[in-house]
Amino acid sequence: MTTRSETQSTLDHLLTEIEHRNPAQPEFHQAAHEVLETLAPVVAARPEYAEPGLIERLVEPERQVMFRVPWQDDQGRVRVNRGFRVEFNSALGPYKGGLRFHPSVNLGVIKFLGFEQIFKNALTGLGIGGGKGGSDFDPHGRSDAEVMRFCQSFMTELYRHIGEHTDVPAGDIGVGGREIGYLFGQYRRITNRWESGVLTGKGRGWGGSLIRPEATGYGNVLFAAAMMRERGEDLEGQTAVVSGSGNVAIYTIEKLTALGANAVTCSDSSGYVVDEKGIDLDLLKQIKEVERGRVDAYAERRGASARFVPGGSVWDVPADLALPSATQNELDENAAATLIRNGVKAVSEGANMPTTPEAVHLLQQAGVAFGPGKAANAGGVAVSALEMAQNHARTSWTAARVEEELADIMTSIHTTCHETAERYGAPGDYVTGANIAGFERVADAMLAQGVI
């Protein structure tokens, strides 16, 4: 029987190797560290997981595709972006994960997201593998016609790598209903197939699932509520700070408000808004979803209760709950220290890896309930899998049915993480619980399916 410390030193050695083999990919290194640092108890306890090559295979994507995406802007100038699809692990089902269109996208970012997605998707209990893709294209300030031409060019290469039984992309930052529509249209044209299950996040009239747009935000609030229940509290009357103003942030605010909490902030790259009366969602949706504007317009139009703080950090606003819903590494050590000083009780990640490792450590040391994204924001991809199920059966479920399934899945993810953490000697540590529970499911499938 190997001891935990022997196992940990094997895992540390592997981490060093991952850094050497994947130079200049700091986000991927961070995501790999975060998982491998918590696996020692389960690898030490179950000798089959120490089998040579198992974890080495898990950290190496099954396939990585990078391609040129040329397109013409409205002035007729040719632009060139880079496209990515990382098909990380298909032991549990077709690769599944979103596409991100943002100037910060590079191979390391897509690999970190794809790696996280493996464990997240495993935690849903559904049959989906892990993948991720995207481009360094920036949709901000682009006309609809430019976005359409970009999406068509992107799909002209991507179509040969995806399919309902192979790889099923969806949205992420910069990819919403509009982009999925253009991507689906081009896929259909090239392949001459009505293959609804090839993409999720589709419009409701043409194969989309009700509640998919809301699912990530709603699910994260349900996860936060479950963590609060463990502490003997609920969301009623709690003040919440939310970062971001995209799809995840908007529906996080909606669910918080529905459950009686007061969500007082939202943000974008220009700064943040604090609204002591609680964010007015009709106004925020109008500005972000219809006008595709910035959050300062919200403060301008809302009146006396709201103010815009240019360049500031949303984490400076005192709150009981914090729900980072913007992007990776947006909540650092300083922000965590401020939140703790202001008495935060729970932090639940709507975005992927928004909290830096130092900040996670600080929050956990201070006894703050911390819900890692791969558990807390799994509601989005879970409802994507339910969209695939509806597409396969050529049917569509009511909003009530999808929401009920989402609630059941979030409760079960919370319970799994909680119990797993306890079983491996880390009670209350949802990071360890999520990593080990996700790992066990994927590792068991990989072992059963042989060395491939």
Tell me whether residue 350 or residue 433 sits nearer to ligand GLU (CB atom).
Answer: 350
Which residues in the 105-124 window bind ligand GLU by CB under 6 A? Answer: 120
Work out the number of other CB atoms within 10 angstroms of the CB of residue 83.
25
Residues 139/151, Cβ–Cβ less than 8 Å: no
172 binds ligand GLU (CB under 6 A): yes
Q: Measured from the CB of residue 122, what is the shortest distance to ligand GLU in angstroms?
A: 12
Of 8-16, 21-29, 380-388, 402-410, the window that binds ligand GLU (rule: CB under 6 A) is 380-388
Single-letter amino acid code for the residue at 15: L
Tell me whether residue 11 or residue 417 sits nearer to ligand GLU (CB atom).
Answer: 417
391 binds ligand GLU (CB under 6 A): no
Nearest residue to 323 via CA among 172, 404, 218: 218
Nearest residue to 120 via CA among 388, 449, 441: 441
Q: Measured from the CB of residue 76, what is the shortest distance to ligand GLU in angstroms?
A: 33
Nearest residue to 248 via CA among 329, 148, 348: 348
Tell me whether residue 380 or residue 433 sits nearer to ligand GLU (CB atom).
Answer: 380
Burial of 232 (0-12, 13-18, 19+ CB in 10 A): exposed
Site size toward ligand GLU (CB under 6 A) is 11
- Among 29, 85, 96, 302, contact with ligand GLU (rule: CB under 6 A): 96
Tell me whether residue 113 or residue 344 sits nearer to ligand GLU (CB atom).
Answer: 113
Residues 6+ apart with CB under 8 A from 217: 247, 248, 249, 250, 251, 252, 253, 254, 255, 325, 350, 379
Q: Measured from the CB of residue 44, what is the shortest distance to ligand GLU in angstroms?
A: 30
Tell me whether residue 129 or residue 278 sits nearer to ligand GLU (CB atom).
Answer: 129
352 binds ligand GLU (CB under 6 A): yes
d(CA 413, CA 224): 12
Instruction: Reply yes or no on whether 111 is catalytic.
Output: no
- Among 41, 83, 97, 350, contact with ligand GLU (rule: CB under 6 A): 97
83 φ, ψ to 5°? -105, 150
384 binds ligand GLU (CB under 6 A): yes
Q: Measured from the CB of residue 201, what is the shortest distance to ligand GLU in angstroms?
A: 6
Tell me the CA distances in angstroms from 253 to 209, 214, 322, 349, 391, one per residue in order. 21, 10, 11, 13, 29
Single-letter amino acid code for the residue at 156: T
Tell me whether residue 94 or residue 433 sits nearer to ligand GLU (CB atom).
Answer: 94
- Among 380, 409, 414, 420, contact with ligand GLU (rule: CB under 6 A): 380
Residues 168/130, Cβ–Cβ less than 8 Å: no
Tell me whether residue 171 or residue 278 sits nearer to ligand GLU (CB atom).
Answer: 171
- Among 69, 170, 322, 386, contact with ligand GLU (rule: CB under 6 A): 170
Burial of 145 (0-12, 13-18, 19+ CB in 10 A): exposed
Nearest residue to 25 via CA among 131, 107, 118: 107
Of 38-46, 92-100, 287-295, 420-428, the window that binds ligand GLU (rule: CB under 6 A) is 92-100
252 binds ligand GLU (CB under 6 A): no
* Strand (E) or helix (H) holding 331: none
DSSP annotation string for 230-273: HTT--STT-EEEE---SHHHHHHHHHHHHTT-EE-EEEETTEEE
Of 20-28, 79-87, 276-284, 376-384, the window that binds ligand GLU (rule: CB under 6 A) is 376-384
98 binds ligand GLU (CB under 6 A): yes
d(CA 371, CA 364): 10
327 binds ligand GLU (CB under 6 A): no
Which residue among 96, 111, 132, 255 is the active-site one?
A: 132
Instruction: Give the catalytic positions in this structure.
Output: 132
Residues that bind ligand GLU (CB under 6 A): 96-98, 120, 170, 172, 200, 352, 380-381, 384
